[in-house]
Copies of this chain bind each other. A is one copy, B any other.
Amino acid sequence: MPIKVKDLKKKLHERQYKLTPQREIILQIFINNADKHLSAEDVYSLVKRESPDIGMATVYRTIDLLNELEVLQKMDFGDGCSRYEISGDSTAHHHHHLICLNCGLVREFDDDLLETLENVISRKSNFQILDHQVKFYGYCQECQNKLSR
């Protein structure tokens, strides 16, 4: 259940921010690519198609803003740049990724075991856990086949 332009407008208003065409386009791009992990560069080249005059700085500033408004989730796959995807429902966590060490494929997964784990660790460590980020590194099915030949 991702955010809509209307919701963004409201969120912006609450903090005396304005809804500009640039912000709207960038939000739309994240909505249209909800399954991807876009970098600032990715967003820039996508926006450029509709708004050739946009500046890279605006892309960065807008992404930062959307990140602060919790519209986006920041993530890092160790490829030298931050990547973002649109947040889904605020009740769930979304940071579980399987990363293939051979082809770089990033696949998502959900698993309730993580919630259990979080509770156990929270109790053991006296840490009040709000969020987590989990990455598994290995080989995807396809690369397993390739590499075993």
Interface residues of A (CB under 8 A from B): 74, 76, 78, 98, 100-101, 107, 109, 111, 113-114, 116-118, 120-122, 124-141, 144
Contact A138 B127 (CB under 8 A): yes
Given A76-B78, A98-B125, does the pair A138, B130 have CB atoms closer than 8 Å?
Answer: yes
Instruction: Chain B residues near A138: list those with CB within 8 A.
Output: 122, 127-131
Contact A127 B136 (CB under 8 A): yes
Given A76-B76, A76-B78, A126-B141, does the pair A136, B121 have CB atoms closer than 8 Å?
Answer: yes
- Give, as a whole number of angstroms, the nearest-CB distance from A116 to chain B: 8
Given A121-B111, A125-B107, does the pair A137, B130 have CB atoms closer than 8 Å?
Answer: yes
